[in-house]
């Protein structure tokens, strides 16, 4: 994990890779919990038997479930000691490149692409790639924006 003291230290890393998270299992229980929370219970996510029969393999995790793992990854990748709060501000770009099958492991890799400071606030744009263990193509590529306050 990258640990920096202050927001100015994070800002100095603009243009740099910040690192990778550990691998996280996306199992059927996590997929089912996400389906219950969002109401998206389409069979490709929640019916392993039908998925095997009609798709020839395991169920597919929701794209938004995969995307929602970004905060988990970012907490493992970096920490700014002086931060009192941070807010997910949005995203400039999100692409769901490859499906994540139930039972797969994913991890995040992040780089800081842009930062803007104003007083005790830093707005940071991160390029995040969510990789699937053993796959050539990533699951998701996104540019997310977080606002940090000291």
pLDDT tens for 23-36 read 999 999 999 999 99
pLDDT tens for 116-129 read 999 999 999 999 99
Q: How far apart are the first and last CA of the chain?
A: 20
Burial class of 7 by CB neighbour count within 10 A (0 to 12, 13 to 18, 19+): buried
pLDDT tens for 82-95 read 999 999 999 999 99
Total count of domains within the chain:
1
Domain around 9: 2-149
Strands (E), 12-98: 17-20, 24-26, 78-80, 85-96
pLDDT tens for 17-66 read 999 999 999 999 999 999 999 999 999 999 999 999 999 999 999 999 99
Q: Name the β-bridge partners of 142.
A: 94, 128
What CATH number is attached to the domain comprising 107?
A: 3.10.129.10
């Amino acid at each position: 994990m990258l640990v920096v003291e202050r927001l100015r230290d994070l800002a100095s890393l603009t243009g740099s890779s910040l690192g990778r998270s550990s691998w996280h299992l996306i199992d059927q229980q996590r997929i089912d919990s996400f389906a219950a929370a969002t109401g998206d219970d389409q069979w490709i996510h929640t019916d392993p038997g039908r998925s095997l029969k009609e798709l020839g393999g395991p169920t597919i995790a929701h794209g938004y479930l995969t995307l929602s793992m970004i905060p988990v990854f970012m907490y493992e990748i970096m920490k700014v000691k002086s931060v009192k709060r941070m807010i997910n501000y949005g995203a400039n770009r999100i692409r769901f490149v490859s499906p994540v099958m139930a039972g797969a492991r994913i991890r995040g890799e992040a780089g800081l692409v842009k930062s803007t400071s104003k007083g005790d606030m830093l707005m940071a744009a991160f390029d995040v790639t969510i990789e699937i263990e053993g796959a050539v193509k990533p699951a998701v590529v996104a540019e997310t924006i977080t606002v940090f306050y000291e």
